[in-house]
Amino acid sequence: MEIIIHPTVKEASEEAARLIAKHISNKPDAVIGLATGSTPLPLYRALIEMKLDWSHVTTFNLDEYIGLPREHPQTYHSFMWENLFRHTNIKAENVNIPDGNAAAIPAHCAEYEKRILVAGGIDIQVLGIGSDGHIGFNEPTSSLASRTRIKTLTKQTIEDNARFFGSTEEVPKHVITMGIGTIMDARQNILLAFGQNKAKAIAGAVEGPITAVNPASALQMHAVTKVFLDDAAAGELERANYFRWVHDNKPDWQKI
């Protein structure tokens, strides 16, 4: 894992955006995995400002709530169109988001995995992290080899996400999420975490043991993972100063 710590969310998000922009300019038909939640919003704003050519890009989102009508403002379908896609020239047919209203969920999940393979696999997967260490909606104790499937959210995640809904009762309990095995198959992962309420999960994921209790810790086994943090999210890392020192001393050819 490469840990990149910036004083502000803006700087961290802009560096992550430059990495994605560079990839899309080198490979116009890139396959990009995307995430939702508050964390990637500054990244998406930075990408929009760069006015990239998305016309050949294919995207796969990590997850979706089960049972909300597709046009509900809190579906990840609505989130992605509102916060990124409608500001770009991406083709609707190149956008892939799990269908939370699929009639047969296991078959839909298997088909989603197949679509990722047919697209050539994910080049760069963007990830957030839950305060409990989840990536995608792979809650603690998810199999580290899991594939796209239905999951039941923890009460903590429901409470964390209630801010987007009127109340905890309105947050769906079930979701479709790429598995940890699916995420591990991406050629590169970019994990973003900002704010002090992510500091414990990040310390566990980066410096703790690899354990299904902190699903993000599986990324220690991924060869190309960059973790972009602000100072607050890095607050519980014992080696924070080492990570800053590494970043400040990069050879020019390695700089993003």
Residue 179 interacting with ligand PGA (CB under 6 A): no
Handedness of CA 60, 64, 67, 73 (dihedral sign): negative
Q: Note if 134 is an active site residue.
A: yes
- Which residue sits closest to ligand PGA, CB atoms considered? 37
Among the listed residues 14, 64, 123, 132, the single catalytic one is 132
Contact letters (x/-) for ligand PGA, 124-143, by CB under 6 A?
----xxx---x---------
Q: Which of residues 83 and 94 has its CB atom nearest to ligand PGA in the complex?
A: 83
Residue 152 interacting with ligand PGA (CB under 6 A): no
Among the listed residues 64, 123, 139, 230, the single catalytic one is 139
Q: Is 244 exposed, middle or buried (0-12, 13-18, 19+ CB in 10 A)?
A: middle
Q: Which of residues 85 and 136 has its CB atom nearest to ligand PGA in the complex?
A: 136
Number of residues that bind ligand PGA (CB under 6 A): 7
252: helix, strand or coil: helix
Q: Note if 99 is an active site residue.
A: no
Q: Which of residues 163 and 255 has its CB atom nearest to ligand PGA in the complex?
A: 163
**Nearest by Cα to 96 from 69, 68, 67, 118:** 118
Residue 38 interacting with ligand PGA (CB under 6 A): yes
Residue 33 interacting with ligand PGA (CB under 6 A): no
Angle formed at CA 113 by CA 112 and CA 116, multiple of 5 degrees:
90
**Nearest by Cα to 186 from 57, 62, 19, 49:** 62
229 - beta bridge partners?
5, 193
Q: Note if 113 is an active site residue.
A: no
Among 39, 125, 146, 177, binds ligand PGA (CB under 6 A): 39
Helices (H) and strands (E) in the chain, counts: 8, 10
CB atoms near residue 240 (< 10 Å): 18
Q: Report, as residue numbers or ranges, the catalytic residues.
A: 63, 132, 134, 139
Residues forming the site for ligand PGA (CB under 6 A): 37-39, 128-130, 134
